[in-house]
Structure 1
Amino acid sequence: MKTNLTYPVLLASLFFICVLNKTSAQQDNAFKEVQGIIIDANTNTPLVFADIVLDETNISTVTNTDGEFLLKIPNTLLNSLLSITHLGYEKLNLKVSNFKNNSKIKLTPAVTPLDEVSILRYKDDARSLVIETLSRKSTVYNNDNTLMTAFYRETIKKRRKNASLSEAVFKIHKQPYNNQRNDNIELIKARKNTDYSKLDTIALKLQGGPFSNLYTDIIKYPEFIFTKEDLAFYNFSFGESTQIDENLVYVVNFKQKQNIKTPLYFGKLYIDSNTLALTSAVYSLNVENKELSSQMYIRKKPRKVDVYPTEAMYRVNYRTSNGKWHYAYSNISLTFKVNWKGKLFNSVYSLNSEMAITDWEIKDTKIAKVRSQLIRPTTILSEKASGFSDPKFWGEYNIIEPEKSIENAIKKIQKQLKRT
């Protein structure tokens, strides 16, 4: 049996001193910032991963873990509509010019009637539906050369305390879904801070950075989770259907068969009933086998320490534009336990990375011509970034609003920079 050992890996090594450099940029006054909180209309709980898209454009963002979002909109588009969608909720449209900042926006849960007619074709055969979905990459997904603008955030925590923050804006040279060429990534801007005093004697670094998130695009890169060979090692079953933007969505549960010892994945696939396109996927790695799951992530570590994952969760979302689906957002959350030989207590570290497509355009010519400007899949982002800067650093680029704990950590970092 083939073992997938090429998925996003973690590099653990002895730490080096981090040097902070201050950078500044001019804020473009041709943009208006729109921000708010998306909540459930019935429970008032924040809605995570809600999509906010400016109609008739490719400008977009997603809500953070607190349900918050911020979107920079060109002044020429202030009469446009904001389209807000979330899996399992009714779509909401709001006019930008009427939008009041910091307001709570309520989404109504959608009532999803079970469509027995449309599900009958795949009843008791969820595996066939998944195979059909994977086979549609050439028909229902974007097959043009596309230049995507993406925001990326990577955080490392020791228990609940932020130890490292890295953020970047990238240009993704997204290849058509109907060919075998890999995507390329170009670094535009980056910033970071690492407090190694919170990391003891170990620094955790994510090798691959934004490529790790890009590889969660199951349709473009099925080899990282659902190879033709590996499909036979999974059980598939239907869950309760849901909907998004008034479209019925099939829910398929999957997990590895009991007799398979190699770490594989378990989770849910959300499949559009009309196009059979994958709209999103939420899944985790089975880490019960410590030795084998550790081999999938740990590339380097001190000899006197044992490091193994206790949780590895993934999420990928897709959007449609002009009738074609494309990669829109992904999130990776990894938790590791570090045991030093001879020490009584262990340490727990968590690493979270997320990447959101905030804008994109179709390119008629071949993209990624200048190889010197591209980063490699083995890149460690924190070694490319220069340090946290003033709030105007990002100019016109859209970012994901940080969660409260990260936002507080950034403020502390900025105060530290002012003192130094």
Structure 2
Amino acid sequence: MQSLRAAFPIRQNSIPLVFFVITALFMLPKVWGFQQEATSENDYKQYKGEVVDQSSNKPLVFATLTVEGTNITTITNTEGSFLLKVPKNMTEGNVVVSFLGYQSKNVPLAQLKPAKNTITLLVSVMQLSEVNINAPKDAAALVRETLARKGDNYFDDPTLMTAFYRETIKKRRKNVSLSEAVVNIYKSPYSSVRQDAVELYKARKSTDYSKLDTVALKLQGGPFNTLYVDIMKYPEYIFSDGSIANYKFTFDRSTRINDRLIFVIKFDQLETINEPLYKGELFIDVENRTLTSAIYTLNITDKVKAAKLFVRRKPAKVDVWPTEVAYRVDYREKNGKWYYGYSNVFLEFKVDWEDKLFNSVYSMTAEMAVTDWEKNVTGNLPKNRERLKKSIILSDEAIGFSDPDFWGEYNIIEPEKSIESAIKKIQRQLRRAKPKGGSAAAAR
């Protein structure tokens, strides 16, 4: 059985551990069962709805909802939908809804319904008087200053974060693999060189091998794919001391986020640099020089060079190359300190077999949202055997899909309609596969 393994090598100018594995399958798909868990549905309330532009009614993607005065938070999906869970004894308070370039809104919990909530946000109009005429002229110097101040502006205590992670693999528009997990992130201070540790709390998955033809893709690295997009913690993978000089930085428009004035800085690799680097936008808080968001893509103009960043080994009769590689990271603020809140990675590849008339297009999406956090008072980390390895393939570790209350009180990213449809289909298959007189046994 031949296999193709693709990966970012560990390099100073590329984000590591975005892997995929392609294996020619000569086996039948497995039917996965599950054991139902007791849920704590009586201990929390949940609210569903959408966040939209007040004028156009357009869904706002990756808008943040946070219960004021707490660390409970969630984020809208690519259709603008959200699912927020709060303890049942929390009857008062506001949900702060924020989105880049829009005015934040406080919505009283008492006004939210269990479902079909529509929250509208207004565009934050910039006034000329708001533009800081003393803005620095050197955009590159501002980026360097922002990176240098991470110890002052970001969490300086060890922190234990709860996060929801989802990864999907599609063949063209069809979902063929879906994995989800709740993980504990042992986040070290931003001023520390110690890397973060990740512990798996619970996970579920499904793969429809019938849609993969003879090719099965697996995303290796799991939550680390998204965690390493945290530029402020891991700047060496995009803006190392040696590679930052390979970019051109320019000031673009200004905007607002959470009612704060934000510089938007565009960056792109210099024309004299031949290696594939990145281009995108950095959103930097005017007042305290804090990176609040970043959106960027890998330069894949030269597909041969771009493919070398991923492909280590391959069968002789197949070519694989990326057609799009995109990243996003968002930070959140509490009590004057910022912390990693959300990130996603999108990868699209073409797989071209020499003996096939048409090539195949596969896309992979990995996203992770921090849904709660607390100070890690002891600073202790999980034992080595309890930590996720950076080589993890989550779809090999998870145990299959369970009932809709599988996550209990944990906040998750609301599934998109296509994913939700795939989950319902999986659940129907499980019910049909369930043996009479008992539940199916959990499988690994």
TM range (shorter): over 0.9
Query: Which of 349, 361, 367 does residue 374 from structure 2 map onto?
Result: 361
- The aligned counterpart of 1:185 is 198
Output one character per residue of 1:53-82: Cα deviation in whole Å (capped at 9) or x when no partner. 011110000000111100110012221210
- The aligned counterpart of 1:27 is 39
Distance 1:323 1:180 in 2: 22
Distance 1:145 1:20 in 2: 38
SS in 2 for 1:239: strand
1:131 aligns with 2:131: no
SS in 2 for 1:413: helix
Query: Which of 365, 375, 396 does residue 409 from structure 2 map onto?
Result: 396
1:41 aligns with 2:51: no
Query: Which of 84, 95, 120 does residue 82 from structure 1 map onto?
Result: 95
**Amino acid in the other structure paired with 2:38:** Q
- The aligned counterpart of 2:116 is 102
Asked if the contact 1:25/1:395 (under 8 Å) is kept, the reply is no
Shift of 1:292: 1.9
Equivalent positions of 1:140-289 (< 5 A) are: 140-289=153-302
Asked if the contact 2:17/2:391 (under 8 Å) is kept, the reply is no
Between 1:287-296 and 1:224-233, the stretch displaced more is 287-296
Shift of 1:119: 5.1
**Amino acid in the other structure paired with 1:384:** E
Asked if the contact 2:161/2:186 (under 8 Å) is kept, the reply is yes
Shift of 1:232: 1.0
Distance 2:237 2:182 in 1: 25
Equivalent positions of 1:46-85 (< 5 A) are: 46-85=59-98
**Amino acid in the other structure paired with 1:217:** D
- The aligned counterpart of 2:4 is none
- The aligned counterpart of 1:113 is 127
- The aligned counterpart of 1:336 is 349
Between 1:254-263 and 1:311-320, the stretch displaced more is 254-263
Distance 2:244 2:92 in 1: 48
Distance 1:96 1:117 in 2: 35
Query: Which of 373, 397, 402 does residue 384 from structure 1 map onto?
Result: 397
Change (3 A) 1:217 1:119: farther
TM-score by length of 1: 0.97
- The aligned counterpart of 1:122 is 136
SS in 2 for 1:394: coil
Pairwise CA RMSD of aligned residues?
A: 1.6
- The aligned counterpart of 1:411 is 424
Output one character per residue of 1:200-248: Cα deviation in whole Å (capped at 9) or x when no partner. 1111111111001000000000011111111111111111100012110
Query: Which of 15, 19, 28 does residue 9 from structure 1 map onto?
Result: 19
Distance 1:351 1:2 in 2: 23
Asked if the contact 1:265/1:285 (under 8 Å) is kept, the reply is yes
Change (3 A) 1:126 1:197: same
Asked if the contact 1:24/1:392 (under 8 Å) is kept, the reply is no
Distance 2:421 2:36 in 1: 20
SS in 1 for 2:414: coil
Distance 1:361 1:121 in 2: 36
Shift of 1:19: 4.5
Distance 1:299 1:382 in 2: 21
SS in 2 for 1:76: coil
Asked if the contact 1:114/1:241 (under 8 Å) is kept, the reply is no
Asked if the contact 2:17/2:224 (under 8 Å) is kept, the reply is no
Asked if the contact 2:158/2:186 (under 8 Å) is kept, the reply is yes
Between 1:208-217 and 1:294-303, the stretch displaced more is 294-303
SS in 1 for 2:177: strand
**Amino acid in the other structure paired with 1:120:** N
TM-score by length of 2: 0.91
Asked if the contact 2:78/2:416 (under 8 Å) is kept, the reply is yes
Unaligned runs of 5+ residues in structure 1 are none
Distance 2:210 2:377 in 1: 49
Asked if the contact 2:50/2:80 (under 8 Å) is kept, the reply is yes
Output one character per residue of 1:290-309: Cα deviation in whole Å (capped at 9) or x when no partner. 12211222344433211110
Asked if the contact 1:236/1:254 (under 8 Å) is kept, the reply is yes
**Amino acid in the other structure paired with 2:386:** Q
- The aligned counterpart of 2:305 is 292
Output one character per residue of 1:331-356: Cα deviation in whole Å (capped at 9) or x when no partner. 11110000001211000000001000
Asked if the contact 2:296/2:326 (under 8 Å) is kept, the reply is yes
Shift of 1:92: 0.4
Distance 1:399 1:299 in 2: 34
Shift of 1:366: 1.8
Distance 2:211 2:385 in 1: 35
**Amino acid in the other structure paired with 2:116:** N
Asked if the contact 1:11/1:298 (under 8 Å) is kept, the reply is no
Distance 2:180 2:95 in 1: 26
Asked if the contact 2:17/2:390 (under 8 Å) is kept, the reply is no
Between 1:36-45 and 1:108-117, the stretch displaced more is 108-117
- The aligned counterpart of 2:3 is none
Unaligned runs of 5+ residues in structure 2 are 1-10, 434-444
